[in-house]
Structure formats: structure tokens, C-alpha cells
Structure 1
């Protein structure tokens, strides 16, 4: 496992050097109160990750019909994250809010998360 831990550290260092900070935002709706007929205030949790925002290649467009024009590929270093990104989260890159669309890929050899690859849409 030490090898994969070192690989995760190396991925974080490389993405930090060549990438940019990315905010991952998870919003949770408040609980419904039947007495008032409304939902209580929700919560928002944010964490900063290191990521690289890339365009999809022409070959990827040909092989995957789920990619729409304007979609981007976001690679996030897994090391140091409090929680893994999920499909209901939003990401903020360079002040722009992106939704995560399937598939969400995780490089996780031997139970050590190294990299998350997300398809994001604005």
C-alpha cells in the first residue's frame, strides 16, 4: 500500500503544480416540517481540491454520445480530500459553477484513492 500512498502524493503534487484550486460543494436540503409545511434550512459543505480542467478530444466525442458540446473533463487529486466528490455535488472552477454528470471515475488501486475523473457541464 505504501506504493499507492506515494503515488497519491505524487499525483497531488503534479496537479497542484500544473492545475488550479477547485471548490467541491455539497448541498443538503433541510428536513421537512409537516407542522409548517416547509423544509428547514439546508446545509452547504465545501472543500478545496486541486484539479486540471481539460477539453474532451474528438475521439472521445466519437466514442461517447453522452458528451455534449461545452462539457469538460476535470481531473482531481484524491489525496487530502475530506470526502469524495459525488454526482449531486457542484464544482467551482475559475468562478464558474459546473454540475457533475455521469460517469464519475475513480482511480483506486488497492483501496487507495489517487485520482477522480469527472465529466462536468455548465
Structure 2
């Protein structure tokens, strides 16, 4: 899914294509409470959020790890906008790959979808 933000040249992040997203990777990424919190925050009306705007109960380096796991699993898309790393939930792509999965996970977390 393309984003509308500006990407700095040379600062692109690797993302799996939709056809490369695997159920076991998505489920593993969503199994961690911190990563589930990130996904829940993104699903609650925040289309694109800077990584620093999340209030997570972990260190910055651990937070970076959690975002990387979500990105590599295909759950989020990240890009740079200036010096900020922005994150966006890949809702549409996940729905196409695994119909109802993200909605069910978010509902179980009490997130209105």
C-alpha cells in the first residue's frame, strides 16, 4: 500500500510483498503484548504514527526490535518522513491474505473495528 508521506532517498526499509506474508509470521508477531499494543494503537484511527509517539513500557532499543518484527512479518509498513520513522498498519493487505484475522485479533483486544 503506497503512503502519502515523503521518503528520504537512501532510507528505505524492507517489507515483504503481500504474497510473501505468512500466517505463522503474522501470528508470531501478534503474540507479543507490546507488538499487539502497537497494532491496536495503529488500528484506533491513527493511520500513520511516528515510532516516538507510542507510549511503550520498553526501552527504545527494544521498541525498535518490536517495530522491526511487525514490519518483517508484514503487519506494518514503515517509511521515513524527515527524521521520523512512520508506521502504518497494513490492514487491507492482511485482510486480503487472511480474511477476518486482524479484525478478530483486534476485537479480542477490545478495539472497535
TM class by smaller structure: under 0.3
| Higher-Rg member (1/2) | 1
Normalised TM-score (structure 2): 0.27
Where is the helix percentage greater, Structure 1 or Structure 2?
Answer: 2
Q: Which has the higher strand share?
A: 1
Larger RCO of the pair (alpha carbons < 8 Å, separation 6+): 2
